[in-house]
Structure 1
Amino acid sequence: MTIAVTGATGHLGRLVVDALIARGTDPAEIVATVRDTAKAAGLLAQGVQVREADYDRPESLVTAFEGVDRLLLISGNAVGQRVPQHTAVIEAAKAAGVGFIAYTSILRADTSPLGLAPEHLATEQLLAASGIPFALLRNGWYVENYAGSFGPAIEQGTLYGAAGDGRIAAATRADFAEAAAAVLISGESGIFELAGDQPFTLSELAAELAKQSGKPVAYQDLPVPDYAAALVGAGLPEGFAGLLADTDGKIQDGHLDDSTGTLSRLIGRPTTSLADAVAAALKA
């Protein structure tokens, strides 16, 4: 059985390849599809097949998926371009005879009001219409999404956000990667709502940063427009800053909280604790 992972040089893709190998998959039966093969030396060293595949060049995709039995479609990072990109991947997979696709979606994509959700839901609908058996890996928030703010928060003594007291059932990329590997190996179709076991507030995250750094860090809650402006001031593009601030605002209403425990059941262990995730991020 040959398993392909798209975006395999990305943060999540590399971890999925590692998780597949750790769970007993022969590296020679893993196809890592990448946009730039020059960045894939580490994958080649693991004995993995590396093939060029670019979401924006559909002609590259059918060749990349030849002989693949199961495919992980990791959602593209070009917000606003995901639907045509994912359409190209799904059509190529069908043309190549791929028998199963797992897709990294977003938590409760069919009901989520997050600005990031519509492209994911559209992709889910494309998969349902494709005739290919599929699994929806509805990933919650990554703890690493906050890692870029850890240094400034410790330095300034303030972690900024717009989430109020909303709880975030985040997990690490490694947790989500293990879940993807488990589903790819089993070939189990279905919808998987995936999130961390121990939801936290941004105030609790600030307290953990203070504890581990030995410096005072407090959470400062801002109105969504003010937080968006602060993110733009920190160098983020206006559109992306707006999406992140909007997400924080929706956290207040519980849209990134979850208590199903599906992720820990899939990976066979508790999800990474906030303390361990923060410690790893501060060492990175």
Structure 2
Amino acid sequence: MTTIALTGATGQLGRLAIKALVARGATPIALARSPDKAADLGVDVRAFDYTAPDAAALAGVEVLVLISSNDFNDRAGQHANVIAAAKAAGVGRVVYTSLLKGDGSPMLLAQDHIATEAALKASGLTYTILRNGWYLENLTGSVGAALAHGAVIGAAEDGLFSAAARADFAEAIAVTAATSGHENAVYELAGDTAFTMAEFAAELGRQSGKALRYDSLPEATYAGILTGFGLPEGFARILADSDAHAAKGALHDDSRTLSHLIGRPTTPMAEAIRQALASL
């Protein structure tokens, strides 16, 4: 059986990917900066830090899943460190979680991914690049605030979001890490059914029984509101920029590559809203 290890194993996507791999009969290795936080995963855990990765932690690893860092301080540099460690350890293939449209994306969020994709291809390692679209959880995470204020806000105008649940993307990680035929492949992954934020607000209103609207704001205004909510200025700017580019199609993809990979339809937006409301 292929020996698979995952970075960022204690993160939201990492935990779901571990679960999906175990469900497929794999015995993955969890790589975590704080191994104690991974004790509940029920798999082998090794200490591993993006900023100073130890190639010894990758001993015997055939497939390394490089889940992109959530630390926006030199993410590309952190990823390059991991790629170098993988090469030094003799890892056979790296599966990397990138961003929808990759080097064709104009989003600020894409820049670290573009650099990482280039570093991975230049490394000589066999790779699989998963260009993940928007997570439904990125949108449902603010349903409480939307209900409290009577509006969903953003800067996406009538742009289409081909969003899917983290669990869908985690399943794609499991499929491509645990099976062959994905060598040097690049996959554009997105939800089956696209929607606008006005449609998202309407569905949230229907399920909650509250009248809701979608207010599309100027990018700078939206960034300022996010900063006022307590988000770091740089991250608020990235989110507002993402919305502004979503208005121009940056987060839309109708290839259905994700559902083809995982062998089932992706999670519908209405189901994600149902789950979010149930958790309030």
TM-score in terms of structure 1 length? 0.95
C-alpha distance in 1, partners of 2:227/2:75?
A: 23
The aligned counterpart of 1:2 is 3
- Structure 1 stretch displaced more, 207-216 or 101-110: 207-216
Secondary structure of 1:40's partner? helix
C-alpha distance in 2, partners of 1:64/1:214?
A: 51
C-alpha distance in 1, partners of 2:206/2:107?
A: 31
- Determine whether 1:52 maps to 2:47: yes
Superposed, which structure 2 residues align to 1:149-164 within 5 Å?
Answer: 149-164=142-157
C-alpha distance in 1, partners of 2:144/2:118?
A: 39
- Contact persistence 2:50–2:79 (CA under 8 A): yes
C-alpha distance in 2, partners of 1:205/1:55?
A: 36
Secondary structure of 2:125's partner? coil
- Contact persistence 1:80–1:119 (CA under 8 A): no
- Contact persistence 2:158–2:198 (CA under 8 A): yes
Superposed, which structure 2 residues align to 1:62-101 within 5 Å?
Answer: 62-101=55-94
**Match of 1:32, as an amino acid?**
A
**Match of 1:19, as an amino acid?**
A
TM-aligned CA deviation for residue 163 of structure 1: 0.3
Of the three residues 227, 248, 253, the one matched with 2:243 is: 248
C-alpha distance in 2, partners of 1:88/1:7?
A: 14
TM-aligned CA deviation for residue 42 of structure 1: 1.1
Superposed, which structure 2 residues align to 1:1-284 within 5 Å?
Answer: 1-25=2-26, 27=27, 30-43=28-41, 46=42, 48-58=43-53, 61-187=54-180, 188-189=182-183, 190-284=185-279
C-alpha distance in 1, partners of 2:186/2:238?
A: 25
C-alpha distance in 2, partners of 1:173/1:274?
A: 12
TM-aligned CA deviation for residue 56 of structure 1: 1.3
Secondary structure of 1:110's partner? helix
1:158-207 Cα offsets, whole Å, 9 max, x none, are 11010000000000000000001100011412000000001111111111
Secondary structure of 2:103's partner? coil
1:36-57 Cα offsets, whole Å, 9 max, x none, are 11211211xx2x1100101112
TM-aligned CA deviation for residue 141 of structure 1: 0.4
C-alpha distance in 1, partners of 2:133/2:245?
A: 13
TM-aligned CA deviation for residue 212 of structure 1: 1.4
Secondary structure of 1:193's partner? strand
**Match of 1:125, as an amino acid?**
A
Alpha-carbon RMSD: 1.0
**Match of 1:148, as an amino acid?**
G
**Match of 1:206, as an amino acid?**
A
C-alpha distance in 1, partners of 2:168/2:5?
A: 19
**Match of 2:30, as an amino acid?**
A
Structure 2 portions without partners, runs of 5+: none
Structure 1 portions without partners, runs of 5+: none
Q: How many residues get paired?
A: 276
Secondary structure of 1:13's partner? helix
C-alpha distance in 2, partners of 1:97/1:283?
A: 46
**Match of 2:19, as an amino acid?**
D
